[in-house]
Amino acid sequence: MEIEYKNYYWQNERVRLRAMRPDDWSFVFLMEFDGVARRKLNYHQELPPTEENRKSKTEQHSGYKSDDKSWLVFIIETLDEKFIGYINLNSIDERHGTFSVGIQVVSDECGKGYGTAAMRIIMCYAFNERRLNKYYGSVIENNIASAAMLKKLGCTQEGVRREQIFMDGRYWNEVLFGLTASEFHEKNTRK
């Protein structure tokens, strides 16, 4: 069956998002061996990954069937269906209208605009379809690329939690970012 994507909501000129499938476990498993990226994403040294753990987590989030509706996981692909990484809409608080996003792009594909493109799709969904009002997130101070991406999307640096994160034998600052729906709409348009 050939899918026609020309009017598909979950894509833009750079990437397409799709539901996680059980067979995606191996792609995500291999990404867990990128220690530098994982530490910037999770702010700590993870234990060595296991196939069983990754299969279980992937199964849990496949097809949005998790009981936790405040956490939605998507696979990021190029328009020719090449696996690029994953992105999740998380910490959704319907009462206050807030949310956060987690994203990891395969190292060889970083710096090509795929992460920014995927973030735009997720933010459009959060602000325009879920009626959420505020994105909040943070980066560890040495994560220059993610901070630049957030600024490109229109996020404002809202503060710094000094020496908040202990990693690599020292304390690091956590840089806080935020973006409201109105700010997003002022700075980002979608066809």
Average pLDDT over residues 43-69: 87
Task: Check: CB of residue 123 under 8 Å from CB of residue 153.
Answer: yes
Q: Identify which of 8, 12, 9 has the alpha carbon closest to the alpha carbon of residue 188.
A: 12
pLDDT for residue 34 is more than 80: yes
- CA 30-33-36 angle, 5° bins: 130
pLDDT grade for 138, boundaries at 50, 70 and 90 = very high
Task: Break the chain into its structural domains and give their ranges.
Answer: 15-187
pLDDT of residue 189: 63
Confidence of residue 63 (pLDDT cuts 50, 70, 90): confident
**CATH architecture classification, 15-187:** 3-Layer(aba) Sandwich (3.40)
The pLDDT of residue 191 is 43
Mean pLDDT of all residues belonging to the chain: 93
The reported pTM is: 0.92
